[in-house]
Amino acid sequence: MPDACLITAARACLAESDPAAKCRLSRDAFDALQAGRLAVEPAAAGQAQDAPGRPSRPELVPPRDLPRRRLGSPEGQAALVHAIAHIEFNAINLAWDAVARFAGMPPDYYRDWARVAAEEAYHFGLLRERLQELGYDYGDFPAHNGLWSMALATAHDVLVRMALVPRVLEARGLDVTPGMMQRLREAGDERTVALLEIILHDEIGHVEIGTRWYRYCCARCGVEPEARFQALIREYIPGGVRGPFHLEARRQAGFSDTELAGLEALDRIFT
């Protein structure tokens, strides 16, 4: 019989500020869940920290204050890897927040996001190791807090969270990663390209999980999902979602052709 609760484990992972310890706790929690040592108790959810544990570095600054570095330089190469690592670190917290914050979802919802948290921890570890190979570490460059800001903006409603965090912010990674990979190839960094191939494959699955639970929430509420998605983008993202879009990856992640056409139409409006 399980002797602990997944929701309790999620809160412990969220609270941990040391990146290595957060990753280890995330992997251990998912392993325990898989082994049947953690119970899934949806009624235990409903509370989460508005400020998850994070290290004192990197310094968090507005996106416009992030310095621009050329990828052709060693420092610019490391800065790009650091930026992606920071996204993955935030994604660990976002996944555990999805577990801890929203009560009353089916047990598979909590299992899915626990798996996402463990995979994001794996991605962060790969990128941190690459940073160290380049002579740097996580925290050596400034970063921004945009992902977590959206978590707070969507904390009141799991439907809104599923629409806007995995299907907008995380899906943006599907769009931009191929271009980053090409730039890294041109810079001769095949090692980082190989890591991004792993991450892109997994992130398609993460966005698909968001799509699936978004549609579940819409069905439960009697909401038409495609129109609601467009309305939420207009409400929460005044500047729209910018293209170009990786259409095939988004289709694999569950986007309909109607949704993709709607995103492209919004892109034309705001471009």
Instruction: Count other Cβ atoms within 10 Å, centred on residue 224.
Output: 10
Domain boundaries, the chain: 73-270
> Which helix (H) or strand (E) element contains residue 20?
helix 19-34
pLDDT of residue 259: 93
Inter-residue contact 77 to 71 (CB < 8 Å): yes
Q: How many CB atoms lie within 10 A of CB 186?
A: 10
Angle, helix 74-101 to helix 6-15, in steps of 10 degrees: 140
Q: Is 264 exposed, middle or buried (0-12, 13-18, 19+ CB in 10 A)?
A: middle
Q: Virtual CA dihedral for 104, 109, 114, 116, nearest 10 degrees?
A: -140
How many secondary structure helices (H) and strands (E) does the chain include?
Answer: 11, 2
Please indicate, yes or no, whether the overall pTM of this predicted structure exceeds 0.85: yes
Q: Over its length of 271 residues, how does the chain's per-residue pLDDT go in tens digits?
A: 466 999 999 999 999 999 999 999 999 999 999 999 999 999 999 988 888 999 999 998 888 878 777 777 888 999 999 999 999 999 999 999 999 999 999 999 999 999 999 999 999 999 999 999 999 999 999 998 888 889 999 999 999 999 999 999 999 999 999 999 999 999 899 999 999 999 999 999 999 999 999 999 999 999 999 999 999 999 999 877 888 999 999 999 999 999 999 998 876 665 4
Q: Which amino acid is at 179?
A: G
Q: In terms of C-beta density within 10 A (0-12 exposed, 13-18 middle, 19 or more buried), how is residue 51 classed? A: exposed
Work out whether the CA dihedral 152, 27, 111, 202 comes out positive or negative: positive
Q: What pLDDT is attached to residue 147?
A: 83
**Does CATH place domain 73-270 in 3.40.430.10?**
no
- CA dist 230 and 233 (Å) reads 5
What is the predicted pLDDT for the residue at 95? 97
